[in-house]
Amino acid sequence: MADKQMRSISRRRFLKTTAGTLALSSIPAIIIPRRVEAYGGGAQVHPYISPLRVVGLRDQNMTTAVKANASWAEQEGLVAWDVVQQSMDKLAVALAQESAPADAWRKIFLKPPAKAWGDTVVAIKTNQIAIQRTRSAVMSKVCHVLAALGVKGSNIHVYDACHGRGMSRNNPFTRLPDGVHLADQWGGSRTNTTVPAPYFDGDRQAPCLGHLVSGDADILVNIALCKGHGSGFGNFTMSLKNHFGTFSPKPSHQDGGGADYLIGINKSKEILGEIDPKTGAVLFPRQQLCIVDTLWASNPGPGTPTDSQPNALFMSTFGPALDHVVAMRFRKDTMGWRVNEQVAKRFLTDFGFAESDLPNGGQIIDAMALAS
């Protein structure tokens, strides 16, 4: 039923957009400068899940011992796989508001119109900068869920276009479905595309991962870490800044970059999916899931070791809301870490939302409580 509804929705949007284009073709040509297609803000991105719904859980049983400052290899040995896998299911159920994990995952991951699952290409952005890494148990769960839906392992590409060199050798994620491609940089951020406002006026280009610019990748999954960063980025780096390994990070460190560039790239069709140029609506979501792996975390960063072990995971379909809520309610309120609240607030307002729009009073929705 969901597939049939999505085909119907996509067809109606396509016909509406095409009709508008044909009508315009009868008008004498007038050259008017147009900004790049960008998310219009304040609207649904995923058709079945609110962009403002942010779920999370903390469970000390997700690891078997406490070692806050631990290498990736040490962390891998301390992860309780079964508990993490079950926790991911609880998060999916809470996010999708379903009663069974299989139904929840089917609601989260949507097959592209006119494509079979076996032909669907999935890109998974992991974070490979310095010495903190996504844990295998989290990566494995996402890949196995996709495989259960019918995605071929060989069509799942795990990448970091900036810092991914040597990932397949240095951080060989374990227990993945056969054929999953640890793609390292996957060709790198080398294809120029226009970055939406507020980065200048939406008329400047930056290098991006070619597979997203071309549209070869159908679904994008964002698996970020919970680390500190400079004040200009909010004093933290999570799902939005994780795409500094999808787009080149260089423009962010130049005049006119900073948070404007960070917000601009996360409004792009390369990340969110194809966008109606007339309305700014996302026609079909490419980035369908964002996760912040917080089994371990750090206050400073991004190049420092982990310095805390919160045993937490957070999930949403919309990175800006995920980052805002986790920054304010977890990093600031729970951990007592500094947050540049002005920047964190922009992760809602620049995307057309207000803090008063957030469900649950702006608090993280507790997946453990819902499961009990």
**Confidence category of residue 27, pLDDT binned at 50, 70, 90:** very low
DSSP strand pairing (122-125 vs 156-159): parallel
Q: Burial, 8: exposed, middle or buried (Cβ in 10 Å; 0-12, 13-18, 19+)?
A: exposed
The rounded distance, in Å, linking the Cα atoms of 122 and 136 is: 17
Look at residue 269 in the predicted model and tell me its pLDDT.
Answer: 97
Look at residue 130 in the predicted model and tell me its pLDDT.
Answer: 83
The pLDDT tens digits for 193-215 are 999 999 999 999 999 999 999 99
* pTM higher than 0.85: yes
Look at residue 35 in the predicted model and tell me its pLDDT.
Answer: 55
Burial 26-58 (b: 16+ CB within 10 A, else e): eeeeeeeeeebbbbbeeeebbbebbbbbbbbbb
Looking at the predicted structure, is the pLDDT value of residue 186 above 50?
A: yes
Number of domains comprising the chain: 1
Q: Which domain holds residue 226?
A: 2-371
Which CA distances in Å does 326 have to 52, 122, 270?
A: 12, 26, 24
114 or 287, which is more confident: 287
Sign of CA dihedral 210, 261, 297, 138: negative
Least-confidence region, from 18-27, 66-75, 91-100, 102-111:
18-27
Looking at the predicted structure, is the pLDDT value of residue 345 above 50?
A: yes
- Three-state DSSP at 240 gives helix
